Amino acid sequence: MFSGGVLRSSQQLRGVPLFARQLSTSPRPLLARSYTTSGRPNQLRMGQTRGGGNGQKRPGNNSFLSRFDRINPLALVGAATILISGYMLIIKPYMEWRSELKHRAVERQQEEEKAQAGYTEEQVAKFPFGKKTVVFVLGGPGSGKGTNSSKLVDDFGFVHLSAGDLLRAEQKRPVSQYGELIAHYIREGLIVPHEITIGLLRNAMMDHPESDRFLIDGFPRNLVQAKAFEDSVCKAKKVLYFECPESTMLERLLDRGKTSGRSDDNIESIKKRFRTYVNDSKPVIDEYAKEGKVMTVSCKGSVDDVYKVTHKKMSDFLQALEKTSQQQDAK
């Protein structure tokens, strides 16, 4: 490796960084610089010894310390700089990247374990779904379900479960087996198979065992879903329905699409969602209306105006519910 006659004894330089060795063995007549105790440089010619100018080496000349007399300190500084830069620019970022990868893998595994664990059949069977007050919030896409639900949470202590939000969260979960399927159904404005949505809703209710009131927003979207939920979870006590003309919904959705980042707030998906709403979802509202469960609120007017009506209707319903439960307790 070290060819040429310049480096006469590689033995002499063992333990000195490569960069320093190469510089110190440069064919240029190098002036090796050492320092006296007073700090002044003490310049010696290559091969010249401290003892005198006759070129004869003293017995101690080959000692460990004397080797450093021949090394240019600038070369040492250069070598050190290269080593430190190499560490900072390559080794350190590489080690940080490895540690980040490890951290992410652990997080993913924990998430997967949690998702797979879910709730046991026994836990589900024991959960008192029937004692909860469940209100479905229905209406076409963009009719104001989410906007009003958030306000009802603050005023009446509901837990707000948006079926659409739960599906979007499931879609984003890296280890979800349903991610692609959900993405497809949402983009096409279709209804995701109800087993998935009901499983998410049921788990989300069980995540809040302390709460007695749940607003389930944007669900059920067809009669099959409604029946499956009633059979496997519970019956809704009331339905809050936002009545809204298609032209208003379209305008609001296109406006929301400017910032929502949702894959379905675009004209093609919106048209498909309207079709699904008319064919599949509206019949659910009609069915609950026959049972006398529907409170209808018009979406026309400002956000505050619409919420004022919503608040009044919800307040009346909860008061009536309270009265009924007191009467039952008194019997």
Q: Kindly tell me which residue out of 24, 133, 197, 310 binds ligand UDP, with binding defined by CB under 6 A.
A: 197
Q: Is 227 helix (H, G, I), strand (E, B) or coil?
A: helix
- Asked if residue 87 lies in contact with residue 96, where contact means CB atoms within 8 angstroms, the answer is no
Give the interface segment with ligand ADP, choosing from 8-16, 63-71, 171-179, 302-310 (CB under 6 A): 302-310
Beta carbon nearer to ligand ADP, 232 or 248: 248
198 near ligand UDP, rule: CB under 6 A:
no
Interface stretch with ligand UDP, choices 107-115, 215-223, 230-238, 296-304 (CB under 6 A): 215-223
Closest residue to ligand UDP, judged by C-beta, is 164
User: What sections of the chain are H helices per DSSP?
Assistant: 18-24, 64-68, 73-86, 92-117, 121-126, 145-156, 163-172, 179-187, 194-206, 223-232, 246-260, 267-276, 282-290, 303-330
**Residue 100 CA: distances (Å) to CA of 94, 97, 105, 107, 253:** 10, 5, 9, 11, 39
Kindly state the smallest distance separating residue 298's Cβ from ligand UDP, in Å: 17
Site string for ligand UDP, 123-152 (x = CB under 6 A): ------------------xx--x-------
- In the stretch 111-150, what mask flags binding to ligand ADP with x, by CB under 6 A? ----------------------------x-xxxxxxx---
The token pair that represents 88 in the structure block: 């900072």
DSSP string of 52-120?
Answer: BSS-PPPGGGGSHHHHHTTS-HHHHHHHHHHHHHHIIIIIHHHHHHHHHHHHHHHHHHHHHHHHHH---
Least Å from the CB of residue 278 to ligand ADP:
15
Task: Spell out the alpha helix ranges (H) of 261-302.
Answer: 267-276, 282-290
CA 30 to chain centre: 60
Q: Closer to ligand ADP at the Cβ: 240 or 306?
A: 306
What is the Cα–Cα distance from 38 to 92, expressed in whole angstroms?
39
Rounded to the nearest angstrom, the gap between the alpha carbon of residue 192 and the centroid of all alpha carbons in its chain is 23
The verdict on whether residue 301 carries a ligand-binding annotation is yes
Within a 10 A sphere around the Cβ of 317, how many other Cβ atoms? 18
Q: Indicate which single residue of 136, 158, 185, 241 sits in contact with ligand UDP (rule: CB under 6 A).
A: 185
Give the number of residues in contact with ligand ADP, rule: CB under 6 A: 16
- Residue type present at position 296: T
Q: Is 302 in the site for ligand ADP (CB under 6 A)?
A: yes
Q: Which residue ranges make up the site for ligand ADP (CB under 6 A)?
A: 139, 141-147, 252, 255-256, 299, 301-303, 306
Residue positions forming the annotated binding site for a ribonucleoside 5'-phosphate: 168, 190-192, 218-221, 225, 262, 273
From the annotation, which residues make up the binding site? 142-147, 168, 190-192, 218-221, 225, 256, 262, 273, 301
Feature table: binding site for ATP: 142-147, 256, 301
Residues that bind ligand UDP (CB under 6 A): 141-142, 145, 162-164, 167, 185-186, 189-192, 197, 218-219, 221, 264, 273
